Amino acid sequence: MVYHNLKALIKGIRSCKTVADERALIQQESAAIRASFREEDTYQRHNNIAKLLYIHMLGSPAHFGQIECLKLVASPRFSDKRLGYLGIMLLLDENQEVLTLVTNSLKNDMNHSNMYAVGLALCTFANIASEEMSRDLANEIEKLLGSSNTYIRKKAALCGLRVVKKVPDIADHFVAKSKNLLTDRNHGVLLTAITLVTEMVQIDAGVLEEFRSAVPLLVRNLKSLVTTGYSPEHDVSGITDPFLQVKILRLLRLLGRGDAQASETMNDILAQVATNTDSSKNVGNSILYETVLTVLEIEADTGLRVMAINILGKFLSNKDNNIRYVALNTLNKVVSMDTNAVQRHRNIILDCLRDGDISIRRRALELSYALINDQNVRILVRELLAFLEVADDEFKSGLTTQICLAAEKFAPNKRWHIDTVLRVLKLAGNFVREEILSAFIRLVAHTPELQGYTASKLYLALKADLSQESLTLAATWIIGEYSEVILQGGIVDEDQTVMISDKDVIDLIFSVMDSPYANYLIRQFVLAGITKIAARSTTSSPEQDRIAELLAKYTSAPELELQQRAVEFASLFTLGETRFGVLEQMPPPEIKTTVIGVVSEKKPVGSTTGKEGDLIGDEIPSASGNNGPSADATAQSNAQMLLDIFGPSSSDSAPATTPAQQQKSTVNDIMDLFGSSGAGTSAAPSSSMFSSTPTPSSAFPSTPASAFPPTPTPAAAPAVQNPQQQKLTSYPAYDKNEVKITLTPQTSPTKPGVVMILARFQVTGSEEASGLSFQAAVPKSQQLQMLPMSNPTISPGAVETQQMRVVAPVGSNVRLRLRISYNIGGQTYQDQVDFSGFPPGLTGTPSA
Amino acid sequence: MINYLLLVSRQGKLRLQKWYITLTVKEKAKVIKEVTALALGRRAKMCNFLEYKGRKVVYRRYASLFFICEIDENDNELFTLEVVHRYVESLDRYFGNVCELDLIFNFQQAYAVLDELVIAGELQEPSRRVAFHSIKASDATEQEDELTSAIKAANLL
């Protein structure tokens, strides 16, 4: 059946028992409406469109009514126009071509004799006008802004808003007219005019300057709203026109920002609003909230600022969750300007983490990240870790990142840092980003004192829980890498040490492989881990056989990456001695600037014993035993800085020299490694110098001594000169102003492409050179690491040195760009030279 | 600026939709579905603000209806609540103790009331009296118009 009018149709649809019935009815009715449209039935058109709009609301297609709406709009009858424009607003949008057909109707109706018809046209324009339509009708709108009718003026102002949003470059059309509107007595016109001006000053800086002169006027308007008594027309719970007040405050914020004079003009009224507005209702709070935002953005005096922050403090302790939400939201903006003011409310903010409302939790969480500093890091990270246990899954990834970032930035010592990350891995190991994991592994690699401790903790954690992906990955890697440390030293658990056998370790790792949680990545890690374990002297031969067996099993794995790894690792087993060289402990990876920053190296290591539980305990940072490795690491980050200096933005050499001087004591430690007397012979350090440095975690892993197998097999070192016969030659790189620099390259046959270079600095005259800064850069295809200089001041007769390491593609030539600056004889010199004087073949021959 | 306003029943049925930003039909349907689910799932004591895809959504429940709107990043949430409240007040005054059925059967009027309050996503009239008067005057124009055309039609016969 066909329903004769809208009411009947709605009743019919509502009486449908099932969704299918409803759908069938709608389809039937749509078809009837369509048929009626085709017959051009003018009398039914109004009715049909009304029914169609209802069908549209239920989610069924109604686009076929678009043209009919246009026809309705063209009708002289007001009721047809009303429905037609409603239909256009619902069925059309600015991206549809049919809309261009509406332009003419709009133009006609904007000049209609009935103000309500004009109102309909303006309303439709303001809601859906396209860019083209805005250009076409901008003049009409401008004209209507000057209408004598307030009903039309206020609507035209918001049409103006639509125009400037769609076509920002014709904003200046409206400047003069909207200036007049700001003096309007009618609140509706004033409100819309302020809205329009707010948009224009954001688009165009010139317009912003022009409207600064309106500040006194706006202040007067606001003042009269605040001081007039009860006005029935505009009263909302005892406040006169809060809507207008909020809009004025918002415009004042834009006009006062960055302008001391304008800010000065509005100071008093802002103070008045802030003190006199009743904060017991939402209306009053909406004004206070807007006032706070304005005070914080303009050049307000300190008293006013304090007042604003106090209002936020009051908001924070409000029982209404809405108010607390906006307070947290606003404090987020304040925290970068005035952290101390926000720190005072730390406890309330932390309480909000436990609020039942996810919106509040989200805001509080964001704010607590911003509050962490080196004084409160222990407390806040403890709170965040506690929250991590109960947090919504959607927060976890961000939380783990933020906790680890905070730990990295503010950790009081490395022990605490490692403990924190371990806890994160345990609690939310499935929500840890890859960068966090690799930063953790870098951290452990750079902290030899805690490698056993970390490996123990991971061993125990992995035993307890195989389901946390990142924990499994970290544990597999670290146990694989440092298996001999836990096998020799035992597992440190709650102050007691338990010895474990190699079988225990391998059982555990195998159980990872068999667990249902093992994914592709985990199995890759496992294969690499067990291969390394097998190569360690602490692993007995039956266990090595088990590992070989597992590898053999995976040589036919269907997943390509696993198969490839298994095949490669299995063939390593046949290579005898070479295998141990390849699989020995990794050098600590280069410290990179990742999203989560650089591993900080200035921290004391912290105690290596004790319970994991005392994350925030008052342990005394232990300064012992951190010299060598951490100095290495500083040197590396230092080298990173030097490389950064060669970046396009900065040519300032100051940051390079300062850290070098700060690190002088550690630098000396390092230089000891290179031999007792810096002022040695011109024959550069021979490999014997290195051989006395048993630093497994040295930044320069490929020191010939440790890399060389005692008896190099022909297969391992083909076609490279025997190191014993290798002559170390110095090449002059720089000789100017009585400063001479030579470079001595040294290569290792097992690591083709890695060139160690020793730079030697001398003064040839009798004056000493001070403040020497030596920077080097390599082409993009090569990598460079530098240690700090032995001494930035070169006395006559002394030789200062600096060690560099270049990793270049095999067969390429090592080229360096050097930048040198120094003071000599009271004069400062800065120089840049390119150096490519090394013999070819230094980086090995590609075919070998 | 209000980006859109949705009126949704407690059962999740859409009763009114007004879009001040341009989205495709598909996108609109997705937003309606997801935002509705978020708002309906919240308990009474919770705050009236949501975050949906990084954007601020303000909602408030009046009897069986949820009024939901999305606003810009820098907008005042408390102010938006007042605007929504003003709309509810106007509906109440227009229909006389408004209920969900009024809005279902007279959705055109519900839109008309909204159009006198908010256009282009911004509040246009802070006075209850003026807004109410405008709607009534439009209705009167419509009736007058019907009357004249009826008389004309009668004359023609």
pLDDT by residue (tens digit) across A743-791?
Answer: 888 877 667 777 888 888 888 888 888 888 888 888 877 888 887 787 8
Average pLDDT, chain B: 92
| CA–CA distance, A255 with A208 (Å, rounded to integer) | 7
- How close is the nearest chain B Cα to the Cα of A427, in Å? 26
Task: Give yes or no for A354 touching B (CB within 8 A).
Answer: no
| CA–CA distance, A846 with B57 (Å, rounded to integer) | 62
| CATH (domain of B127) | 3.30.450.60
DSSP classification of residue A88: H
**Over residues A81-110, mean pLDDT:** 93
pLDDT at A848: 41
pLDDT at A95 over 50: yes
Task: Give yes or no for B55 touching A (CB within 8 A).
Answer: no
| CA–CA distance, A681 with A799 (Å, rounded to integer) | 10
* Chain B: residue whose CA lies nearest to A193: B124
pLDDT at A652 over 80: no
Strand runs labelled E in A401-514 = 491-493, 496-498
Question: Residue A829 — φ and ψ, nearest 5°?
Answer: -120, 145
* Chain A: residue whose CA lies nearest to B81: A282
Among A82, A159, A161, A333, the residue to mutate for chain B (most B Cβ within 10 A): A82
Cβ atoms B14, B69 nearer than 8 A: no
pLDDT at B49: 94
pLDDT at A83: 95
DSSP classification of residue A720: S
Q: What b/e sequence results for B74-94 when a residue is b if at least 16 CB atoms lie within 10 Å of its CB, and e otherwise?
A: ebbbbbbbbbbbbbbbbbebb
CB pairs under 8 A between A and B: 149
Domain residue limits, chain A:
667-690+727-835
Among B115, B134, B135, the residue to mutate for chain A (most A Cβ within 10 A): B115
Task: Give yes or no for B137 touching A (CB within 8 A).
Answer: yes
pLDDT at A298: 92
Asked if B50 and A359 come within 8 Å (Cβ–Cβ), the reply is yes
pLDDT at A820: 85
pLDDT at A91 over 60: yes
Lowest mean pLDDT: which of A246-250, A557-561, A836-840, B10-14? A836-840
Asked if B14 and A159 come within 8 Å (Cβ–Cβ), the reply is no
pLDDT at A722 over 70: no
Q: Specify whether the backbone of A797 is left (phi greater than 0), alpha (psi in -120 to 50) or beta.
A: left
pLDDT at A447 over 60: yes
Among A52, A88, A112, A127, the residue to mutate for chain B (most B Cβ within 10 A): A127
| CA–CA distance, A647 with A641 (Å, rounded to integer) | 10
| CA–CA distance, A834 with A435 (Å, rounded to integer) | 36
pLDDT digits (tens, 9 = 90+) for B128-143: 999 999 999 999 999 9
Range B25-29 contact pairs with CB under 8 angstroms and sequence separation of 24 or more: B29/A59
Asked if A158 and B47 come within 8 Å (Cβ–Cβ), the reply is no
Give the 3-state secondary structure of residue A501. coil
Asked if A187 and B49 come within 8 Å (Cβ–Cβ), the reply is no
pLDDT at B45 over 70: yes
Output the six-digit token pair for A365: 């969480």
CB nearest A154 (choices: B104, B124, B146): B124
- Judging by beta carbons within 10 Å of its beta carbon (0-12, 13-18, 19+), is residue A297 exposed, middle or buried? middle
Cβ atoms A364, B116 nearer than 8 A: no
Amino acid at A62: A
- How close is the nearest chain A Cα to the Cα of B85, in Å? 11
Secondary element (H or E) of residue A446: none
Domain A667-690+727-835: CATH superfamily, name plus number: Gamma-adaptin ear (GAE) domain (2.60.40.1230)
- Judging by beta carbons within 10 Å of its beta carbon (0-12, 13-18, 19+), is residue A499 exposed, middle or buried? exposed
Asked if A78 and B145 come within 8 Å (Cβ–Cβ), the reply is yes
Helix axes A282-297, B77-95, angle to 10 degrees: 150
Secondary element (H or E) of residue A591: none
DSSP classification of residue A647: S
pLDDT at A620: 38
Give the residue, A231 or B95, on which the prediction is more confident.
B95
Calculate what percentage of chain A has a pLDDT beyond 70: 83
Please, how many CA atoms are within 13 Å of residue A66, restricted to the half-sphere of its CB?
Answer: 13
Asked if A151 and B134 come within 8 Å (Cβ–Cβ), the reply is yes
Among A185, A359, A361, A365, the residue to mutate for chain B (most B Cβ within 10 A): A359
- How close is the nearest chain B Cα to the Cα of A355, in Å? 9
B111: containing domain: 2-156
- Judging by beta carbons within 10 Å of its beta carbon (0-12, 13-18, 19+), is residue B43 exposed, middle or buried? exposed
Task: Give yes or no for B115 touching A (CB within 8 A).
Answer: yes
The pLDDT-based confidence of A714 (bands split at 50, 70, 90) is very low
The pLDDT-based confidence of A713 (bands split at 50, 70, 90) is very low
| CA–CA distance, A803 with A756 (Å, rounded to integer) | 7
DSSP bridge partners of B66: B8, B61
Task: Give yes or no for B79 touching A (CB within 8 A).
Answer: yes
Output the six-digit token pair for A489: 């030293």
Residue A228 CB neighbours (<10 A): 11
CB nearest B142 (choices: A82, A89, A187): A82
Cβ atoms A122, A159 nearer than 8 A: yes
The 3-state secondary structure of A100-124 reads: HHHHHHHHHHHCCCCHHHHHHHHHH
Q: Which residues have a Cβ under 8 Å from the Cβ of A175 and sit 6 or more positions away? A: A200, A207, A210
Task: Give yes or no for B139 touching A (CB within 8 A).
Answer: no
Cβ atoms A128, A91 nearer than 8 A: no
For chain B, how many structural domains are there in total? 1
- How close is the nearest chain B Cα to the Cα of A469, in Å? 27
DSSP classification of residue A711: S
Which residues of chain A have a CB within 8 Å of the CB of B76?
Answer: 246, 250, 286, 289-290, 293
- How close is the nearest chain A Cα to the Cα of B61, in Å? 14
**DSSP string of A17-31, one letter each residue:** SSHHHHHHHHHHHHH
Cβ atoms A182, A167 nearer than 8 A: no
Residue A212 CB neighbours (<10 A): 15
Cβ atoms A814, A842 nearer than 8 A: yes
Output the six-digit token pair for A100: 């261009």
pLDDT digits (tens, 9 = 90+) for A280-314: 889 999 999 999 999 999 998 888 988 998 899 89
pLDDT at A836 over 60: yes
Among B33, B122, B128, the residue to mutate for chain A (most A Cβ within 10 A): B122
Q: What b/e sequence results for A413-440 when a residue is b if at least 16 CB atoms lie within 10 Å of its CB, and e otherwise?
A: bbbbbbbbbbbbbbbbbbbbbebbbbbb
Asked if A53 and B108 come within 8 Å (Cβ–Cβ), the reply is yes
List the one residue out of A616, A360, A612 whose CA is nearest residue A464: A612
Cβ atoms B7, B76 nearer than 8 A: no
pLDDT at A289: 95
Among A11, A166, A192, the residue to mutate for chain B (most B Cβ within 10 A): A192
- How close is the nearest chain B Cα to the Cα of A20, in Å? 16
CB nearest A95 (choices: B22, B29, B125): B22
Q: Which residues have a Cβ under 8 Å from the Cβ of A497 and sit 6 or more positions away? A: A489, A490, A491
C-alpha torsion sign, points A169, A173, A179, A181: negative
Entry field: residues in chain B:
157
CB nearest A123 (choices: B17, B115, B122): B115
The pLDDT-based confidence of B157 (bands split at 50, 70, 90) is low
Please, how many CA atoms are within 13 Å of residue B147, restricted to the half-sphere of its CB?
Answer: 6
Asked if A286 and B79 come within 8 Å (Cβ–Cβ), the reply is yes
Give the residue, A809 or A321, on which the prediction is more confident.
A321
The pLDDT-based confidence of A654 (bands split at 50, 70, 90) is very low
**Over residues A152-163, mean pLDDT:** 95
Task: Give yes or no for B151 touching A (CB within 8 A).
Answer: no
Task: Give yes or no for B29 touching A (CB within 8 A).
Answer: yes
DSSP bridge partners of B67: B7, B60
Task: Give yes or no for A283 touching B (CB within 8 A).
Answer: yes
Task: Give yes or no for A313 touching B (CB within 8 A).
Answer: no
Asked if B108 and A82 come within 8 Å (Cβ–Cβ), the reply is yes
Task: Give yes or no for B20 touching A (CB within 8 A).
Answer: yes
